[in-house]
Amino acid sequence: MVVKMVNRIAEQRIKQGLTVEQLSEKSGIAPNELKNIECDGCAIEEVSAVKAAAIAEALGCLIKDLIYEDQ
């Protein structure tokens, strides 16, 4: 069985009512990089732990809330 991790960063950002620019300010990650991280084609496994932690902290959630397993 192959488990794919699915990126939920955009979903969490929208849920919090934030724009990419606002999340950028809160997380310290450039807007263009956030857009690349949020894209459907981005493998969440390739996002560094430091960036994932910064995004999660900015969104007030846990890193595990930024992903889900798609089986």
Q: What is the pLDDT of residue 69?
A: 65
How far apart are the C-alpha atoms of 26 and 13, rounded to whole Å? 11
The size of the chain, in residues, is 71
- pLDDT tens track for 2-60: 556 678 899 899 999 999 999 999 999 999 999 998 886 677 778 889 999 999 999 99
Q: Which two tokens stand for residue 21?
A: 């620019």
User: Residue 39: its pLDDT value, please?
Assistant: 83
pLDDT for 43 equals 75
pTM for the model:
0.84
Whole-angstrom distance, CA of residue 9 vs CA of residue 52: 9
User: Residue 25 is encoded by which pair of tokens?
Assistant: 């300010």
pLDDT at 63 exceeding the cut of 80 = yes
Contact 63, 8 (CB under 8 A): no
The C-alpha atoms of residue 35 and residue 24 are separated, in whole angstroms, by 10
